[in-house]
Amino acid sequence: MLSELLSYLDPARILTTFSYVGLFAIIFAESGLLIGFFFPGDSLLFTAGIFAAAGHLSLPIVVVGCTIAAIAGVSAGYGFGKAVGKGLFERKNSLLFRRQHLYRAQAFYDKHGGKTLILARFIPIVRTFAPIVAGVSEMEYRKFLAFNVIGGVLWAAGVTIAGYTLGNAIPNIDRYLLPIIAVIIVISVLPAALHAYKEYRQEIHAALRRRAGTP
């Protein structure tokens, strides 16, 4: 089941199957919707840049479309947080929502203020929940919009252009696409995985002991 889900989240498969529509939809969702925290935003942008270098996608369309989607997604998250308010922190955990992610984003926001909307763009999970926290905190919209636009451009355009640059620098990069994507996924998921391990370390160890049949 997990392997099947991961296959559907494979950036190359998403781009091959859904092209621009899938790309823009996922970037929008991961930027501010509760259901978007597990989407492969970083690796998807980078892979889109590589696809553009190979001539499969248009770089200007990818850059502009992803930037707009990223900014719109964060705006949606801000609006959701402002509408729902602090009651969101009392919401029960579910498959698609964990309060720990919200608390982590809140701590990041308390430390960095409005700059969180820029810095969080490059941190999985925090990227999704930071605009919601900004809405709950009722950040002044003009200030929010400025940070949102700057962060959206740096992340969406920057990561895509980085992939495009690498694609042009390596001849026949299509041959190495799978290992490159694997490395990007590991790098982008590692911070979230380490956080999850620290948070659920006791439960994980207990499950391993039960599996091994030790007390």
Higher pLDDT, 98 or 214: 98
Higher pLDDT, 181 or 212: 181
Domain boundary assignment for the chain: 2-212
Q: What angle do CA 198, 182, 1 make, to 5 degrees?
A: 70
**Cα pseudo-dihedral 124, 118, 144, 38, rounded to 10:** -10
Question: Mean of the pLDDT values across residues 71-91?
Answer: 86
pLDDT of residue 204: 45
Q: What is the 3-state secondary structure (H, E, C) of the chain?
A: CHHHHHHHCCHHHHHHHHHHHHHHHHHHHHCCCHHHCCCCHHHHHHHHHHHHHCCCCCHHHHHHHHHHHHHHHHHHHHHHHHHHHHHHHHCCCECCECHHHHHHHHHHHHHHHHHHHHHHHHCCCHHHHHHHHHHHCCCCHHHHHHHHHHHHHHHHHHHHHHHHHHHHHCCCHHHHHHHHHHHHHHHHHHHHHHHHHHHCHHHHHHHHHHHHCCC
Confidence grade of residue 172 (pLDDT, cut at 50, 70, 90): confident
Give residue-wise pLDDT tens across range 107-116: 888 888 888 8
pTM listed for this prediction: 0.78
Give residue-wise pLDDT tens across range 32-54: 887 777 787 888 999 999 999 98
pLDDT at 3 over 70: no
Tokens of 61: 């369309």
Question: Mean of the pLDDT values across residues 97-121?
Answer: 81
